[in-house]
Amino acid sequence: MTAIDIRENSSAGESAILRVSGLVKSFGGLKAINDVSFEAKAHQVTAMIGPNGAGKTTVFNLITNIMSKDAGKVMFLGFDLSGMSAVKIAGLGLIRTFQSARVFPGMTAIENVMVGGHRLVRHSLPSQTLWLRGAQTEERRLRRRAEEMLELVGLASLAEAHATELPMGGQKLLEVVRALMAQPKLLCLDEPAAGLNDTETQELANLVRAIRKLGIPVLIVEHNMSLVMNVADRIVVIDSGAIIANGTPAEVQNNSRVIEAYLGREGHAAS
């Protein structure tokens, strides 16, 4: 157990905690997602990569029901997510971030992080409103945990700064640790490296590795090949809305279809 008290949420071994089967989504006459199926396993970082416009974020939105699917099924920890609201899905422990850093304006960095823990607060709204002793104790505990989270990503000195004043890299890290405050059973990161410089991307990679060591599985949608190759256990490659490869980083790097569809467009394979 770490000082941050993030408990291992997934089942033992390498069982799949997320199963995506036959996802289909069309916009008008264009089939944007075509029969996408894959798994995310416990204790692993699973990455979905592909060229810009391949459909990666659309798959994320279909998984979390932000967007309705035309066909297919998503199972999370044995629950069929069909028809569930995004809020209920988050309540099951499937927590996601978004491409653009979404910090709450008018709030400090530490207040933003504390928001992530409020889904686990046990005291009722009236207790919090009246600031009863139990609510006070819980709020202090939440703040201590948020402080530890900010320390983890090197933002402790900016705890009282307005979140919108942080650089883009800081805001992205802030969003990730806010998601961690919710004690996810699966953390879904949507293009977390977008807009980051090399140093910030390395800090993000270190954070993803730390999350995996804490026993929290990660599903990451990303365009940055260097980041993915350095943190992922399994990689799913999507192109034009369909999966063209699924395997280890080494297998994906040496897949001719991937080289043609993705790596070749970059001009080089990530090391």
Q: List domains and CATH numbers for the chain.
A: 16-104+179-266 (3.40.50.300)
Predicted TM-score of the model (pTM): 0.82
**Which of these ranges, 36-40, 46-50, 93-97, 198-202, has the smallest mean pLDDT?**
198-202
Question: Among the listed ranges 63-72, 126-135, 150-159, which one has the minimum average pLDDT value?
Answer: 126-135
Please name the amino acid found at residue 52.
N
Q: What's the mean pLDDT in 92-120?
A: 85
Q: How far is CA 264 from CA 8, 10, 123, 221, 248, in A?
A: 38, 36, 54, 19, 18
Mean pLDDT over residues 49-76, rounded? Answer: 92
pLDDT for 259 = 82
- Say whether pLDDT at 271 is over 80: no
113 contacts 120 by C-beta, under 8 angstroms: no
Q: What is the pLDDT of residue 128?
A: 47
